[in-house]
Structure 1
Amino acid sequence: MSSQANESSQVIVERARLSDVHALIVLRSVLLSSGDSQYASRNELDESTWRRAYTNWLDHAITTADDESKICVARLSPDSPPVGSAIGLVNRRVPGVHCPSGRIGWIQTVVVSAENRGRGIGSRMIESLLSWFHAQEIGEVMLETTPDARSVYSSLGFDPSGEELLYHHCESGN
Protein backbone atom coordinates (compact mmCIF):
# COMPACT_ATOMS: atom_id res chain seq x y z
CA MET A 1 0.00 0.00 0.00
CA SER A 2 1.39 3.41 -0.91
CA SER A 3 2.16 5.95 1.78
CA GLN A 4 -0.62 8.23 0.49
CA ALA A 5 -3.17 5.40 0.52
CA ASN A 6 -2.13 4.41 4.05
CA GLU A 7 -2.43 8.00 5.32
CA SER A 8 -5.76 8.45 3.54
CA SER A 9 -7.21 5.27 5.03
CA GLN A 10 -6.63 6.66 8.52
CA VAL A 11 -8.74 9.73 7.79
CA ILE A 12 -12.33 9.84 9.04
CA VAL A 13 -14.82 11.36 6.58
CA GLU A 14 -18.22 12.16 8.08
CA ARG A 15 -21.02 14.71 8.19
CA ALA A 16 -20.12 18.00 9.83
CA ARG A 17 -21.25 18.74 13.38
CA LEU A 18 -22.36 22.09 14.77
CA SER A 19 -19.12 22.19 16.74
CA ASP A 20 -17.26 22.24 13.36
CA VAL A 21 -18.69 25.56 12.15
CA HIS A 22 -15.69 27.67 13.18
CA ALA A 23 -13.23 25.23 11.57
CA LEU A 24 -15.35 25.15 8.39
CA ILE A 25 -15.18 28.95 8.18
CA VAL A 26 -11.40 28.85 8.60
CA LEU A 27 -11.11 26.22 5.87
CA ARG A 28 -13.36 28.15 3.46
CA SER A 29 -11.36 31.31 4.09
CA VAL A 30 -8.56 29.65 2.08
CA LEU A 31 -10.87 30.00 -0.93
CA LEU A 32 -12.60 33.30 -0.20
CA SER A 33 -10.38 35.53 1.93
CA SER A 34 -7.73 36.28 -0.68
CA GLY A 35 -6.82 35.73 -4.29
CA ASP A 36 -8.06 37.00 -7.60
CA SER A 37 -11.05 34.71 -8.20
CA GLN A 38 -14.51 36.19 -8.72
CA TYR A 39 -15.46 34.77 -5.33
CA ALA A 40 -12.65 36.29 -3.24
CA SER A 41 -13.23 39.07 -0.74
CA ARG A 42 -12.16 42.47 -1.97
CA ASN A 43 -12.49 44.32 1.33
CA GLU A 44 -13.49 43.95 4.99
CA LEU A 45 -17.21 44.28 4.20
CA ASP A 46 -17.01 41.40 1.69
CA GLU A 47 -15.15 39.34 4.29
CA SER A 48 -17.60 39.93 7.13
CA THR A 49 -20.58 39.44 4.81
CA TRP A 50 -19.55 35.98 3.54
CA ARG A 51 -18.48 34.83 7.01
CA ARG A 52 -21.80 35.83 8.59
CA ALA A 53 -23.88 34.37 5.74
CA TYR A 54 -21.85 31.13 5.68
CA THR A 55 -22.15 30.73 9.46
CA ASN A 56 -25.94 31.06 9.21
CA TRP A 57 -26.09 28.67 6.24
CA LEU A 58 -23.92 26.08 8.03
CA ASP A 59 -25.99 26.30 11.22
CA HIS A 60 -29.15 25.64 9.22
CA ALA A 61 -27.71 22.97 6.90
CA ILE A 62 -26.11 21.00 9.74
CA THR A 63 -29.14 21.08 12.01
CA THR A 64 -31.63 20.18 9.28
CA ALA A 65 -29.46 17.49 7.59
CA ASP A 66 -31.68 16.57 4.65
CA ASP A 67 -31.34 15.04 1.19
CA GLU A 68 -30.55 18.40 -0.42
CA SER A 69 -27.10 18.95 1.10
CA LYS A 70 -24.28 17.07 2.75
CA ILE A 71 -21.37 18.81 4.42
CA CYS A 72 -18.43 16.43 4.69
CA VAL A 73 -15.47 16.94 6.96
CA ALA A 74 -12.26 14.98 7.18
CA ARG A 75 -10.67 14.34 10.57
CA LEU A 76 -7.41 12.71 11.56
CA SER A 77 -9.06 11.21 14.66
CA PRO A 78 -12.65 11.00 15.97
CA ASP A 79 -12.34 14.06 18.22
CA SER A 80 -9.95 16.17 16.16
CA PRO A 81 -11.04 19.30 14.32
CA PRO A 82 -11.68 19.04 10.58
CA VAL A 83 -8.65 19.23 8.29
CA GLY A 84 -10.82 19.27 5.17
CA SER A 85 -14.32 19.96 3.97
CA ALA A 86 -16.45 19.40 0.89
CA ILE A 87 -20.10 20.20 0.29
CA GLY A 88 -22.56 18.32 -1.88
CA LEU A 89 -25.78 19.99 -3.01
CA VAL A 90 -28.72 18.62 -4.97
CA ASN A 91 -30.16 21.06 -7.48
CA ARG A 92 -33.06 20.86 -9.90
CA ARG A 93 -32.41 21.62 -13.55
CA VAL A 94 -34.20 21.09 -16.81
CA PRO A 95 -34.10 17.32 -17.52
CA GLY A 96 -31.36 16.18 -19.88
CA VAL A 97 -29.97 13.10 -21.60
CA HIS A 98 -28.06 11.80 -18.57
CA CYS A 99 -30.37 13.38 -16.04
CA PRO A 100 -34.02 12.79 -16.93
CA SER A 101 -35.14 13.64 -13.38
CA GLY A 102 -33.54 17.08 -13.57
CA ARG A 103 -31.85 16.43 -10.21
CA ILE A 104 -28.11 17.02 -10.42
CA GLY A 105 -25.37 17.11 -7.85
CA TRP A 106 -22.97 19.96 -7.27
CA ILE A 107 -19.77 19.66 -5.29
CA GLN A 108 -18.51 22.89 -3.79
CA THR A 109 -16.05 24.26 -1.27
CA VAL A 110 -13.56 21.40 -1.44
CA VAL A 111 -10.62 22.44 0.70
CA VAL A 112 -7.94 20.67 2.70
CA SER A 113 -5.66 22.46 5.17
CA ALA A 114 -2.25 23.26 3.65
CA GLU A 115 -0.35 20.91 5.95
CA ASN A 116 -2.60 17.96 5.00
CA ARG A 117 -2.69 18.32 1.21
CA GLY A 118 -1.36 15.56 -1.00
CA ARG A 119 -2.54 12.78 1.33
CA GLY A 120 -5.71 11.79 -0.56
CA ILE A 121 -8.02 13.57 1.87
CA GLY A 122 -9.80 15.60 -0.82
CA SER A 123 -10.34 12.43 -2.87
CA ARG A 124 -11.81 10.63 0.12
CA MET A 125 -14.31 13.46 0.69
CA ILE A 126 -15.27 13.51 -3.01
CA GLU A 127 -15.76 9.72 -2.98
CA SER A 128 -18.02 10.08 0.07
CA LEU A 129 -20.12 12.70 -1.71
CA LEU A 130 -20.30 10.62 -4.90
CA SER A 131 -21.62 7.67 -2.86
CA TRP A 132 -24.21 9.96 -1.27
CA PHE A 133 -25.30 11.22 -4.71
CA HIS A 134 -25.47 7.66 -6.05
CA ALA A 135 -27.71 6.60 -3.16
CA GLN A 136 -30.09 9.42 -4.16
CA GLU A 137 -30.07 8.34 -7.81
CA ILE A 138 -28.42 11.54 -8.99
CA GLY A 139 -27.40 11.08 -12.64
CA GLU A 140 -24.89 13.91 -13.01
CA VAL A 141 -22.50 15.59 -10.63
CA MET A 142 -20.82 18.88 -11.49
CA LEU A 143 -18.07 20.90 -9.89
CA GLU A 144 -15.87 23.86 -10.63
CA THR A 145 -12.13 23.45 -10.41
CA THR A 146 -8.88 25.29 -10.69
CA PRO A 147 -6.07 24.15 -12.97
CA ASP A 148 -4.14 22.95 -9.90
CA ALA A 149 -6.92 20.56 -8.81
CA ARG A 150 -8.09 19.38 -12.24
CA SER A 151 -5.97 16.20 -12.20
CA VAL A 152 -7.43 15.13 -8.84
CA TYR A 153 -10.97 15.39 -10.19
CA SER A 154 -10.02 13.71 -13.46
CA SER A 155 -8.65 10.75 -11.49
CA LEU A 156 -12.07 10.45 -9.85
CA GLY A 157 -13.90 10.28 -13.18
CA PHE A 158 -14.74 13.95 -13.79
CA ASP A 159 -14.41 15.18 -17.37
CA PRO A 160 -14.61 18.67 -18.85
CA SER A 161 -18.22 19.50 -19.70
CA GLY A 162 -17.29 21.23 -22.93
CA GLU A 163 -18.95 24.37 -21.65
CA GLU A 164 -17.29 27.41 -20.20
CA LEU A 165 -18.53 28.72 -16.87
CA LEU A 166 -19.30 32.43 -17.01
CA TYR A 167 -19.91 34.68 -14.03
CA HIS A 168 -22.13 37.73 -13.60
CA HIS A 169 -22.47 39.54 -10.28
CA CYS A 170 -25.91 41.04 -9.74
CA GLU A 171 -25.51 44.10 -7.56
CA SER A 172 -29.00 43.66 -6.10
CA GLY A 173 -28.39 39.97 -5.31
CA ASN A 174 -27.10 40.51 -1.79
Structure 2
Amino acid sequence: MTHNGHLRTATAQDSAALLRLWGLLFDEDADREGPWRSHAAKWFARFVDDRDDARFPVIEVDGVVVATAIGTLELGVPNPQCTKGRSVRLANVITMTEHRGHGYGTALVLDVLNWARSIDADRIDLSATAEGQRLYDKLGFTLTAAPRMKFIL
Protein backbone atom coordinates (compact mmCIF):
# COMPACT_ATOMS: atom_id res chain seq x y z
CA MET A 1 0.00 0.00 0.00
CA THR A 2 1.03 3.57 -0.54
CA HIS A 3 0.50 6.85 1.29
CA ASN A 4 1.26 5.43 4.75
CA GLY A 5 -1.78 3.14 4.72
CA HIS A 6 -1.48 0.47 7.39
CA LEU A 7 -3.77 -2.60 7.34
CA ARG A 8 -4.74 -3.95 10.74
CA THR A 9 -7.63 -5.66 12.49
CA ALA A 10 -10.14 -3.36 14.15
CA THR A 11 -10.41 -3.28 17.92
CA ALA A 12 -13.27 -2.26 20.21
CA GLN A 13 -11.72 1.22 20.38
CA ASP A 14 -12.43 1.67 16.64
CA SER A 15 -16.21 1.59 17.12
CA ALA A 16 -16.85 5.34 16.65
CA ALA A 17 -14.60 5.52 13.57
CA LEU A 18 -16.31 2.51 11.98
CA LEU A 19 -19.78 3.86 12.69
CA ARG A 20 -18.80 7.10 10.93
CA LEU A 21 -17.55 5.15 7.89
CA TRP A 22 -20.62 2.90 7.83
CA GLY A 23 -22.79 6.03 7.90
CA LEU A 24 -21.05 7.23 4.73
CA LEU A 25 -22.23 4.06 2.98
CA PHE A 26 -25.76 5.32 3.41
CA ASP A 27 -24.96 9.00 2.72
CA GLU A 28 -25.64 9.85 6.34
CA ASP A 29 -24.19 12.80 8.19
CA ALA A 30 -21.20 11.33 10.02
CA ASP A 31 -22.30 12.82 13.35
CA ARG A 32 -26.05 12.22 13.05
CA GLU A 33 -27.45 9.82 15.58
CA GLY A 34 -29.92 7.22 14.41
CA PRO A 35 -31.42 4.03 15.83
CA TRP A 36 -29.27 1.87 13.55
CA ARG A 37 -26.09 3.30 15.11
CA SER A 38 -26.79 1.99 18.62
CA HIS A 39 -27.67 -1.43 17.20
CA ALA A 40 -24.53 -1.40 15.03
CA ALA A 41 -22.35 -0.40 18.00
CA LYS A 42 -23.75 -3.27 20.12
CA TRP A 43 -23.34 -5.72 17.23
CA PHE A 44 -19.74 -4.61 16.64
CA ALA A 45 -18.91 -4.91 20.36
CA ARG A 46 -20.31 -8.44 20.33
CA PHE A 47 -18.36 -9.61 17.27
CA VAL A 48 -15.15 -7.53 17.19
CA ASP A 49 -13.12 -10.16 19.04
CA ASP A 50 -14.84 -13.20 17.48
CA ARG A 51 -12.15 -14.24 14.99
CA ASP A 52 -14.10 -17.36 13.92
CA ASP A 53 -17.31 -15.59 12.90
CA ALA A 54 -16.32 -12.05 11.85
CA ARG A 55 -13.44 -10.11 10.33
CA PHE A 56 -13.00 -6.34 10.55
CA PRO A 57 -9.94 -5.13 8.64
CA VAL A 58 -9.22 -1.41 8.64
CA ILE A 59 -6.74 0.86 6.90
CA GLU A 60 -5.18 3.47 9.12
CA VAL A 61 -3.35 6.55 7.82
CA ASP A 62 -1.53 8.75 10.33
CA GLY A 63 -3.52 7.24 13.19
CA VAL A 64 -6.93 7.70 11.52
CA VAL A 65 -9.11 4.85 10.22
CA VAL A 66 -9.83 5.79 6.59
CA ALA A 67 -11.18 2.52 5.16
CA THR A 68 -12.80 -0.69 6.32
CA ALA A 69 -14.66 -3.83 5.30
CA ILE A 70 -16.59 -6.53 7.12
CA GLY A 71 -16.60 -10.29 6.64
CA THR A 72 -19.15 -12.37 8.56
CA LEU A 73 -19.56 -16.13 8.51
CA GLU A 74 -23.02 -17.32 7.53
CA LEU A 75 -23.94 -20.94 8.15
CA GLY A 76 -26.46 -22.50 5.81
CA VAL A 77 -27.55 -25.81 4.42
CA PRO A 78 -24.75 -27.46 2.41
CA ASN A 79 -25.59 -27.50 -1.30
CA PRO A 80 -23.83 -27.95 -4.66
CA GLN A 81 -22.67 -24.30 -4.71
CA CYS A 82 -21.64 -24.25 -1.03
CA THR A 83 -20.66 -27.81 -0.15
CA LYS A 84 -19.99 -27.17 3.55
CA GLY A 85 -22.71 -24.55 3.96
CA ARG A 86 -20.10 -22.01 5.09
CA SER A 87 -20.29 -18.72 3.23
CA VAL A 88 -18.85 -15.35 4.15
CA ARG A 89 -20.83 -12.16 3.60
CA LEU A 90 -18.56 -9.31 2.51
CA ALA A 91 -20.11 -5.96 3.39
CA ASN A 92 -19.50 -2.31 4.23
CA VAL A 93 -16.41 -1.93 2.06
CA ILE A 94 -15.76 1.80 2.25
CA THR A 95 -12.84 4.18 1.83
CA MET A 96 -13.09 7.87 2.71
CA THR A 97 -13.33 9.84 -0.53
CA GLU A 98 -10.03 11.67 -0.07
CA HIS A 99 -8.17 8.36 0.40
CA ARG A 100 -9.52 6.49 -2.63
CA GLY A 101 -7.29 5.32 -5.46
CA HIS A 102 -4.51 3.91 -3.27
CA GLY A 103 -5.53 0.22 -3.36
CA TYR A 104 -7.09 0.22 0.10
CA GLY A 105 -10.32 -1.44 -1.07
CA THR A 106 -8.36 -4.21 -2.78
CA ALA A 107 -6.25 -4.77 0.35
CA LEU A 108 -9.36 -4.97 2.54
CA VAL A 109 -11.16 -7.43 0.25
CA LEU A 110 -8.04 -9.61 -0.02
CA ASP A 111 -7.80 -9.61 3.78
CA VAL A 112 -11.38 -10.88 4.07
CA LEU A 113 -10.70 -13.47 1.32
CA ASN A 114 -7.71 -14.79 3.26
CA TRP A 115 -9.72 -14.88 6.47
CA ALA A 116 -12.54 -16.77 4.69
CA ARG A 117 -10.04 -19.39 3.54
CA SER A 118 -8.59 -19.66 7.06
CA ILE A 119 -12.02 -20.48 8.55
CA ASP A 120 -12.74 -23.07 5.83
CA ALA A 121 -15.54 -21.15 4.11
CA ASP A 122 -16.82 -22.27 0.71
CA ARG A 123 -17.47 -18.91 -0.89
CA ILE A 124 -17.90 -15.18 -0.39
CA ASP A 125 -21.15 -13.40 -1.22
CA LEU A 126 -21.66 -9.66 -1.60
CA SER A 127 -23.90 -6.99 -3.02
CA ALA A 128 -21.90 -4.57 -5.15
CA THR A 129 -22.63 -1.03 -6.16
CA ALA A 130 -21.92 -0.14 -9.78
CA GLU A 131 -18.92 1.82 -8.51
CA GLY A 132 -17.54 -1.14 -6.55
CA GLN A 133 -18.20 -3.83 -9.14
CA ARG A 134 -14.96 -3.03 -11.00
CA LEU A 135 -12.91 -3.97 -7.92
CA TYR A 136 -14.75 -7.26 -7.43
CA ASP A 137 -14.51 -8.18 -11.12
CA LYS A 138 -10.75 -7.57 -11.00
CA LEU A 139 -10.40 -9.90 -8.00
CA GLY A 140 -12.33 -12.74 -9.68
CA PHE A 141 -15.85 -12.34 -8.28
CA THR A 142 -18.59 -13.30 -10.73
CA LEU A 143 -22.08 -11.93 -11.19
CA THR A 144 -24.78 -14.46 -10.29
CA ALA A 145 -28.09 -14.92 -12.09
CA ALA A 146 -30.12 -14.97 -8.89
CA PRO A 147 -31.75 -11.62 -8.14
CA ARG A 148 -31.37 -10.31 -4.63
CA MET A 149 -34.64 -9.62 -2.87
CA LYS A 150 -35.57 -8.32 0.56
CA PHE A 151 -38.57 -7.94 2.83
CA ILE A 152 -38.49 -5.17 5.43
CA LEU A 153 -40.00 -6.20 8.79
Larger Rg: 1
Letter of the aligned partner of 2:132 in structure 1?
A
Offset from partner CA, 1:114-147 (integer Å, 9 cap, x none) = 1011211011000000000011121111011111
Pick one of 51, 54, 59 that aligns with 1:69. 54
State the Cα distance separating 1:98 from its structure 2 match: 3.5
Quick one: distance in 1 between partners of 2:148 and 2:106? 23
Pick one of 49, 73, 98 that aligns with 2:35. 49
- Report runs of 4+ in structure 1 exceeding 6 Å deviation: none
TM-score after normalising by structure 2 = 0.90
Structure 2 partner of 1:3: none
TM-score after normalising by structure 1 = 0.80
Structure 1 partner of 2:125: 142
Quick one: distance in 2 between partners of 1:119 and 1:66? 27
State the Cα distance separating 1:96 from its structure 2 match: 1.8
Structure 1 partner of 2:144: 161
Structure 1 partner of 2:108: 125
Ranges in structure 2 where 5+ consecutive residues have no aligned partner: none
Secondary structure at 1:65 match in 2: coil
State the Cα distance separating 1:32 from its structure 2 match: 2.5
Secondary structure at 1:82 match in 2: strand
Structure 2 partner of 1:7: 2
Contact 2:53–2:73 under 8 Å retained in 1: yes
Structure 1 partner of 2:16: 22
Contact 1:20–1:81 under 8 Å retained in 2: no
Quick one: distance in 2 between partners of 1:137 and 1:144? 21
Quick one: distance in 2 between partners of 1:53 and 1:165? 24
Offset from partner CA, 1:46-76 (integer Å, 9 cap, x none) = x5111111111111212x3230111111112
Secondary structure at 2:83 match in 1: coil
State the Cα distance separating 1:152 from its structure 2 match: 0.6
Matched residues, number: 150
Quick one: distance in 1 between partners of 2:61 and 2:20? 17
Quick one: distance in 2 between partners of 1:157 and 1:11? 24
RMSD: 1.7
Contact 2:47–2:53 under 8 Å retained in 1: no
Ranges in structure 1 where 5+ consecutive residues have no aligned partner: 1-5, 35-43
